Amino acid sequence: MWIKFVLLSALSVCALASPIALIIDAPSPMPREVAFSFRQELDQAFGETGYRFTWIDRAKMRPEDSFPDLVVVRFQSECRMDTPTPRVTAGGPHALAWTHRTGQEMLPFMEVDCARVRNMLRVVANGEPMAARQEMIGRALGRVVAHELYHVLTGSPAHAVAGIAQPSLSPAHLVSPALGFTPREVNLLAQRSMAAERTQAPLPAAGEPASDSAR
């Protein structure tokens, strides 16, 4: 169920403005190791762009809560490596995540299929201690969400030739020691964060999944 309150702006922020609220909508809380790795990876990816984030648990929100800018991140399945991996769900062929849109407009709603992410990590995580496996999926989720945030914040379905914003992310991409945006994407995000003007807009309904999902 999508959150029903008003967006005070359409994800147009300046470098020193309030951080974007990431509304985390998950079936259960992430383990501490997963959550820490996920947040660290996402903050690192956007560190040079001017965008900052605050983390809001959907289950703990109050009806009167509102935020200047927000993105809803809805996780499907359990985002952890210490439970059996269920059968993957729908959302496009091999899609790890996808951003909703209306026509060509990218909406601030994304979905992440943790079952697919866990399936991709099986081989690279095999034999690793559980703490390391939890850190791996947190890192992977950070990169998958960063990929989708790139589309939301730029308002474009276009991809990069390398880095987090490339069309497909392999298991190696998801867990490698370092993977970020290329200088071109960093510059684009930084320019948009500094130049964007605040506008008021109602919260759009969840639209069709974008066809350019992270895979």
Cβ atoms 142, 112 nearer than 8 A: no
Q: Which two tokens stand for residue 211?
A: 């066809």
pLDDT at 13: 37
Q: What average pLDDT does the segment 185-212 reach?
A: 60
Query: Is 64 or 14 the better-scoring residue by pLDDT?
Result: 64
Residue 143 pLDDT grade (very low, low, confident, very high; cuts 50, 70, 90): very high
**pTM of the shown model:** 0.81
Q: From CA 37, how far away is CA 197, in angstroms rounded?
A: 32
Q: From CA 42, how far away is CA 96, in angstroms rounded?
A: 16
Residue 212 pLDDT grade (very low, low, confident, very high; cuts 50, 70, 90): low
Query: With 50 as the cut, is the pLDDT of residue 99 above it?
Result: yes
Query: With 80 as the cut, is the pLDDT of residue 179 above it?
Result: yes
Least confident residue range of 10-24, 62-76, 105-119: 10-24
Q: From CA 124, how far away is CA 103, in angstroms rounded?
A: 37
Query: With 70 as the cut, is the pLDDT of residue 16 above it?
Result: no
Q: Which two tokens stand for residue 98?
A: 């996808």
Coil vs helix vs strand at 137 = helix
Superfamily of domain 20-81+91-193: Collagenase (Catalytic Domain) (3.40.390.10)
- Express each pLDDT in 19-69 by its tens digit: 899 999 999 999 999 999 999 999 999 999 989 999 999 999 988 888 888
Coil vs helix vs strand at 124 = helix
